[in-house]
Amino acid sequence: MKVHVAVLPSPGMGHIIPFLELAKQLVVRHGIHVSLLNITTEASAAQNQLLHSPTLPPNLKVIDLPPADISALVTEDAGIVTRLCIIVQESLKPLKSVLIELGKPQALIIDLFCTQAFEICNELSIPTYTLFTCSTAFLAFTLYLPTLDREVECEYVDLPEPVQVPGCTPIRIEDLLDQVRNRKIDEYKWVLFHFNRTPLATGIFLNSWEDFEPASLKAIREHPFYKQIATPPVHPVGPLIKEDEPLTELGAKCVAWLDKQPLDSVLFVSLGSGGTLTNAQLTELAWGLELSQQRFILVVRKPTDGSASGSFFNVDGDVNDPKAYLPEGFIERTKGVGLVVPSWAPQVAVLRHPSTGAFLSHCGWNSTLESITYGVPMIAWPLYAEQRMNAAMLVEEVGVAVKPMVGEGKGVVEREEIERMVRMVMEGEEGKAIRGRAKEQEHSASQGLNFGGSSYESLFRVVKEWTTSDQI
């Protein structure tokens, strides 16, 4: 009988995509039957479309969990993590009966924000793994945060020195994720609750590979701190990225436009499925692109002066008209040099296109891995969550990105700085150097995933354990 495993992502495309890709690998490459448990509460149109695609492999079944009513539990001004955690908490109430109905799978693989599943699976004797959808460096921080919480009394933003995560590069105070910048808010309490429970997993799958973040990986495996808190075994199985996406009419237009451009000549500007800029920053970005005189594809959505994660729960939501908020005449003046795309572009198709020379990115982990998998250097433009930590690592440790400077006392990156960065990456010597390093990482990523590569073998070893336990 086939081994049967269930996977449980939390909402948001940054979580759904790696879970779906891991599920596909288990089915297609390792012959396992997988049930993906889909949290439907407030699911975006993009999430529903992706998980109900007719092209999913036959042994991958998507099971929709019933929508939960969270109206009495979440206020309008609740932060993104609070909302996400309450959605998960309420959606997991029928989990026990769902797992029993599935015949108790050999394992459940959960997301970082689904740790309520540990008790349920414990009761049913189902081993529970975590798929960690961020960087290995961020996993090290996740495992360290409960200790930091006990040992530090003040707010972390008031610490005089960077946060020294055991065995890893120190994290600058300004790069700490938003949710730990104020310890009194609900967001922090939820993050601490789930981070505290991470070591309860039987094992942790990493969306990374052996050669990409060697120092952080070595620290988690060998540093006495992580041994002392009984960190579960870590299994790097990445990069888990979206391999193919059906091209919409708009997507086909992007690719057709790229087909006409010279090799490595186009800057792709996209700030992720949930990110938005302020009105002032979007204006500066547009002017900077125009002044650079470089070819570009600009994926743009309506600006907001509120949260930078303004469209997290509304991916593929409102259709918008860029002419209403881009500088007057911008689209006409840059016609031929630039292509403006409202809301969404087929990111994988653009990044792997030979005409794409660089990626101005929010540094979400999925986008980071997609860029590296296709050897595309980055201009790092982090917006929220752990993106500032990712950006720092990509610039300072991996050397595949550059980061614009915000002028002192200014709330925005100004057009002259954007023009400078774009020209440097697309034409300058530094751009050539980071492109070279990105190409090296591209080779390393594909080696890891290939049959016999480190990520393939890492996943295969766990599958073997499931197969053996199934036969006992």
| Residue positions annotated with a catalytic role | 15, 111
Strands (E), 88-214: 107-110, 128-132, 204-206
Alpha-carbon dihedral angle through residues 279, 285, 287, 288, given to the nearest 10 degrees: 160
At 385, list the tokens. 């969550």
Backbone angles phi, psi at 68, to 5 degrees: -105, 150
Sign of CA dihedral 295, 299, 302, 306: negative
Is 404:379 a contact under the CB 8 Å cutoff?
yes
| Other beta carbons within 10 Å of 157 | 12
Helix (H, G, I), strand (E, B) or coil at 27: helix
- Angle, vertex CA 367, rays to CA 361 and CA 369, nearest 5: 125
User: Strand 356-361 to strand 338-342: parallel, antiparallel, or no bridges (unpaired)?
Assistant: unpaired
How far is it between the farthest Cα atoms of the chain?
70
DSSP 317: -
Backbone angles phi, psi at 148, to 5 degrees: -60, -40
Is 86:70 a contact under the CB 8 Å cutoff?
yes
* CA 237 – CA 210 distance, rounded (Å): 9
Q: At what angle do helices 429-449 and 415-427 cross, to 10 degrees?
A: 70
* CA 374 – CA 118 distance, rounded (Å): 36
* CA 412 – CA 406 distance, rounded (Å): 6
Q: Is 87 left (phi over 0), alpha (psi -120 to 50) or beta?
A: alpha
* CA 363 – CA 401 distance, rounded (Å): 10
Residue type, 224: P
* CA 439 – CA 211 distance, rounded (Å): 14
Query: Which helix (H) or strand (E) segment is 445 a member of?
Result: helix 429-449
Distances (CA, A) of 234 to 113, 162, 206, 365, 401: 18, 26, 7, 18, 27
Q: For 333-359, b where at least 16 C-beta lie within 10 A, e where not — what string?
A: ebeeebbbbbbbbbbbbbbebebbbbb
* CA 95 – CA 173 distance, rounded (Å): 38
